[in-house]
Every structure is written in C-alpha cells, then in structure tokens.
C-alpha cells in the first residue's frame, strides 16, 4: 500500500469509527463525521423556509436552496400555507431537496411571522437542523430574525457567499464593504441574497414529503389585504435586463418611454428612490440599499445620478449602461457604457434602433 492510499484510507477509518460511536448518540442528533478536510464537523442539515403564494413557489426560494446545498448536508424545505399541494409538488422536483415538510392550516394565511415562528420552532425541535434559512426577501427578512430571537441565536442577514458551514460573507454600509462573519451559534439562522446564488433546477429532484403538525394559532395579528402591482414584464429581481428611471424622468407619464424601451428588451423596469418618492412609480420598483437588489446581465440607468444607496442595489450587474445629461454624475464611474445625452431624445432613439 502506497503512502498516498494510506492517507486516503485513514480518514475513512476514522469516519466509520466515529459513526459507529455516534449511533448510540443518534437520538441527540449529534452525528459527528470526519470530513475530507480532516476537521471534526457536526453533520449538516438545513431547513429552507419556502416562500410561495399557495400557487407558485417564489423564485428566490430556489436560490436559497442552492445556498443550502453548498453547506454539504441534507436539505429539507418547509411549506406552510393555507393550500400547499401545488407548491409541494413543485418543490419535490427541485434538485437538491431531500424532504418537504408540509404544514397546512388557515392560520398561515398571509404568512404572518407570529403564526409561522411557533411552527418553525416545533419543526426545529423535532429535526434539530444545524441551519435554517430563507431568501432575503421581504418575507425572509420579516420572519427569520423572529425565529432566531426565539432560539436565542444571532441571525446573519443577506449573505452573498458561504465559506464554510459557519462562515459567511455579507455586505455592510450599502454594499461598500464585505464582512466575513463566523457564526458560533448552535443553530445558524440566515437569509440569502438571491442574486448571489444560482437558482436550483426545478427538475430532476425527487423529494419525499411529510406532514408536520400545524402550531396552534396565536391570533395576535391578522392579515387583511394586499395590493400587488400588476405587470406583464419579468419580475425585477430575476430579470435578465433591467431599465431603471430616476428623477430625470420628471413625471410618471414619462416613464412610458422606459416601458417602451423595456418591452423591446423584454426587461423589467426599476426606479430610484427619488422617482418613487415623487410618485412616478410604486415603491416595489425601487432598486437600492433599501429597495431591491438586482444583478441582471444588463442594467440601463436613465436619469439616475448614482447615489451610494442606489448603487448598492445594482452594482453587481454584469453590464451597466448610464444615460445622463450630466457628465459628472457618479453613475458614470460604474457604467461600462456611458452616454452623455438628454434622455428624452436618447431613449426614444434607442427604442427605435431596437425596432429595426
């Protein structure tokens, strides 16, 4: 036996030894295995809290599943809602998901965190996950910190990279610094930046599903209604092309120029805070530190100066185009292609050029 094979076999030997020992320990769910790197690590198991509307899985859940798969352990998904069948079917086929846990009850209407938290805690008690995560959407941001506090652990928000099962990278100061954090909590609770992880494939998976007992309703909050912005355009955070407008558009009517251009590019339309505050477009179109984070293949910023807070939401786009009449606008510092021009002339021209 060569030295090399001996080295290769050694960890294997340890593995069986340790697994052998831990069988006695199984009930405590602390299975220790020797992994390739030679570190003794707790066996990973991750719960992804699925976001959906009782009909469709929200795309960011697929990015969260990819992040969860990177941890190396088994991935389970929790689907809680008033009518889960369709979503359970979708998620069972997603690659990388081993088990779907299903909790159907009327009290999960509107995905209120007061109702979902006890359910997640009960699920955690039953399965002892090492990691609990969700996409860093309004849903995930609302829910996961509540779960973490109940577990008495510090959560990690909006991670962009997983270095190891306990070490994550996230941005701070509106994306102007990257912070590498080591989480020494017994359970790692985190949200995942959708644009930083590929979407898991929606085919080829073959997960089993299992019902979990719904928690008893707490009844301290009530969901009344929602008004969603309707649009035929692709969804902002997952669109390949985004056309965004700022204060330079001057009015809501003028945004039509951008919709026309977007239609030619099959693009989603975004906005700066100034455009939202001025009432040109609804708030859910805001891109930035405090709006949505996008990273499309092409981002076209029209009449946007490029404030720190706006850049935070689009700086990771593959190609950035800026159309602005002010050559000093900070947006030109991040733009791959910059056109110093009056948008009212340039945008219709561009739409025209794309019609040919």
Ligand X SMILES: Cc1cc2nc3c(=O)[nH]c(=O)nc-3n(C[C@H](O)[C@H](O)[C@H](O)COP(=O)(O)OP(=O)(O)OC[C@H]3O[C@@H](n4cnc5c(N)ncnc54)[C@H](O)[C@@H]3O)c2cc1C
Q: What is the contact surface with ligand X in residues (CB under 6 A)?
A: 246-248, 272-275, 286-291, 303-305, 307, 309-310, 313, 324-326, 329, 342-344
CA distance 19 to 211: 29
Question: Two tokens at 78?
Answer: 């929790």
In the beta sheet, which residues pair with residue 156? 190
Site for other proteins in 273-312 (CB under 8 A): 273, 276-277, 282-284, 289-290, 292, 297-298, 308-309
Out of other proteins, ligand X, none, what residue 89 binds, judged by CB under 5 to 8 A for its kind, is: none
Binding site annotation covers 307?
yes
Q: Report if residue 122 touches other proteins, rule: CB under 8 A.
A: no
Site for other proteins in 222-281 (CB under 8 A): 222-229, 237, 241, 265, 273, 276-277
Out of ligand X, other proteins, none, what residue 272 binds, judged by CB under 5 to 8 A for its kind, is: ligand X
Q: Report if residue 341 touches other proteins, rule: CB under 8 A.
A: yes
How many Cβ atoms are within 10 Å of 80's Cβ, its own excluded?
25
Question: Two tokens at 182?
Answer: 């080591």
Q: Report if residue 156 touches other proteins, rule: CB under 8 A.
A: yes
How many Cβ atoms are within 10 Å of 186's Cβ, its own excluded?
11
Q: Which is nearer to ligand X, 34 or 292 (CB)?
A: 292
How many Cβ atoms are within 10 Å of 125's Cβ, its own excluded?
8
Binding site annotation covers 273?
yes
Among 140, 164, 167, smallest CA distance to 47 is for 140
Q: The tokens 């590498």 sit on which residue?
A: 180
Question: Two tokens at 6?
Answer: 């001996």
Q: The tokens 């404030």 sit on which residue?
A: 307
Q: Which is nearer to ligand X, 160 or 331 (CB)?
A: 331
> Residue 244: enclosing H or E segment and its boundaries?
strand 241-245
Q: Smallest distance from the beta carbon of 157 to other proteins, in angstroms?
A: 5
The answer to whether residues 135 and 60 touch, using CB atoms and an 8 Å cutoff, is yes
Out of other proteins, ligand X, none, what residue 324 binds, judged by CB under 5 to 8 A for its kind, is: ligand X
Q: Which is nearer to ligand X, 164 or 290 (CB)?
A: 290
Binding site annotation covers 233?
no
């Amino acid at each position: 036996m060569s030295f090399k094979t001996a080295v290769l076999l050694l960890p294997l030997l340890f593995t069986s030894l340790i697994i052998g020992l831990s069988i006695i320990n199984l009930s405590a769910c602390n299975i220790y295995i020797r992994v390739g790197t030679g570190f003794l690590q707790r066996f990973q198991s991750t719960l992804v809290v699925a976001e959906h509307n009782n009909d469709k899985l929200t795309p960011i859940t697929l990015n969260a599943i990819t992040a969860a798969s990177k941890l190396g352990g088994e991935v389970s998904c929790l689907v809680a809602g008033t009518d889960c069948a369709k979503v359970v079917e979708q998620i069972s086929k997603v690659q990388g998901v081993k088990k779907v846990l299903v909790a159907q009850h009327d009290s999960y209407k509107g995905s209120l965190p007061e109702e979902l938290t006890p359910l997640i805690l009960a699920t955690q008690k039953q399965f002892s996950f090492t990691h609990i995560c969700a996409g860093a959407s309004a849903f995930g941001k609302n829910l996961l910190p509540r779960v973490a506090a109940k577990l008495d652990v510090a959560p990690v928000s909006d991670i962009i990279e997983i270095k190891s099962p306990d070490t994550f990278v996230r941005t701070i100061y509106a994306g102007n610094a990257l912070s590498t954090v080591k989480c020494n909590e017994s359970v790692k609770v985190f949200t995942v930046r959708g644009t930083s992880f590929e979407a898991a494939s929606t085919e080829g998976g073959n997960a089993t599903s299992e019902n979990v007992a719904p928690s008893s309703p707490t009844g301290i909050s009530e969901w009344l209604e929602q008004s969603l912005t309707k649009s035929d355009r692709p969804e902002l955070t997952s669109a390949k092309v985004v056309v965004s407008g700022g204060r330079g558009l001057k009015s809501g009517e003028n945004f039509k120029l951008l919709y026309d251009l977007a239609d030619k590019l099959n693009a989603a339309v975004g906005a700066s805070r100034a455009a939202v505050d001025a009432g040109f477009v609804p708030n859910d179109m805001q891109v930035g530190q405090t709006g949505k984070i996008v990273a499309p293949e092409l981002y076209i910023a029209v009449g946007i100066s490029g404030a720190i807070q706006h850049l935070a939401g689009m700086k990771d786009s593959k190609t950035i185009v800026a159309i602005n009449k002010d050559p000093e606008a900070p947006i030109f510092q991040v733009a791959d292609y910059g056109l110093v021009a009056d948008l009212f002339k340039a945008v219709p021209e561009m739409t025209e050029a794309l019609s040919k």
